[in-house]
Each structure stands twice: as C-alpha cells, then as structure tokens.
Amino acid sequence: MFPFLLSMHSLFRWLTVISLLVSFIVAVRGVRQRSLFPPSVNSLRHSTATIAHIQLMIGIWLYTQSAQVGYYFSGAAKGFGEAGFFSIVHICCMILAIVFITLGSALAKRRPRPLDKYRTMMWWFGAALVLIVIAIPWPFSPLAHRPMWRAF
C-alpha cells in the first residue's frame, strides 16, 4: 500500500499545482474582464479545494511515516539540511497553503458579486501558489534534492 500512496502523492501533487494555477489564471482573467461567475468556474473553485484536501491527507500520512522526519525530530540530525526542510519548512508551508485554498474557496463561494468572487479567489489562491512554490523541493535547491516526478 505504501508504493500506491507514493504514486498517488506524485499524481495529486501535480494535480494540485495545475488546478491551483488554472484557478488563479481564471480568477485574474475574471477580475480583468469583470465577467460573470459561471457554474464552470464555481466547479473549478470547488475541485481545486477538493484536490488540495486529498493531497493534504496523503501528504500528512506520508509525513508521519517518513524516516527523514523521524530522524530530524530524534535529535540525531546535524544542522538543518534536507531533513529539517521536510520536517519543518515543507509541512508548515504546505499546510498553510491548504488553509489559504480552503479560505479562498469558502469566502469566494459566499461573496454576492461575481467580481468579489474572482478577487477573493485571486488573492487567496495566489498566496497559496506562492507558498507552494516556496515549499517545493526543487532539484536545484540547496536544502532538498528531489526529482520533479518519481516513477513507481
């Protein structure tokens, strides 16, 4: 079951980033064009939050099972490094990003005017996107060396 969750994690992390990016672009376009908020955009908003929550559940499970996280919190790790990045920075930024996505989705749903819905999505989803980009373990990062896609 563990390899299955890892492959689901690889799939859902990219689905999360792509759906969030598409939602953000749609929100920016909606603000600029002052367009209506059709059911398709509402579905995109809801789907983005749902995908992010599924990713959060998979990510939290993997976090609790991670040998690197256990190593860091056991006190055996010397310095911050990759173990510290995943134990603190990655998890905190990602959870905060999911909170922003959840708030943005819930607040946009409740706004009465289409322009307010788009603005709310744009700001909250944009902030979540920035946090996710910061917390991604890029292959060129000095703190974490991970491939962008894992084949399992």
Q: What is the pLDDT of residue 151?
A: 58
Angle, CA of 9, 126 and 39, to the nearest 5°: 85
Q: What is the pLDDT of residue 114?
A: 96
Domain that includes residue 46, residue range:
2-135
Asked if residue 86 lies in contact with residue 144, where contact means CB atoms within 8 angstroms, the answer is: yes
**Is residue 96 domain-resident?**
yes
Domain total for the chain? 1
Distance of CA 144 to the CA centre of its chain: 18
**Is residue 6 domain-resident?**
yes
**Is residue 150 domain-resident?**
no
Q: What is the pLDDT of residue 150?
A: 60
Q: What is the pLDDT of residue 136?
A: 86
Q: What is the pLDDT of residue 138?
A: 80
**Is residue 44 domain-resident?**
yes
Q: What is the pLDDT of residue 113?
A: 97
What residues of the chain score a pLDDT lower than 70?
1-3, 5-6, 145-152
Asked if residue 135 lies in contact with residue 93, where contact means CB atoms within 8 angstroms, the answer is: yes
**Is residue 151 domain-resident?**
no
Q: What is the pLDDT of residue 141?
A: 76
Q: What is the pLDDT of residue 148?
A: 65
**Is residue 39 domain-resident?**
yes
Which pTM value belongs to this model?
A: 0.88
**Is residue 46 domain-resident?**
yes
**Is residue 142 domain-resident?**
no
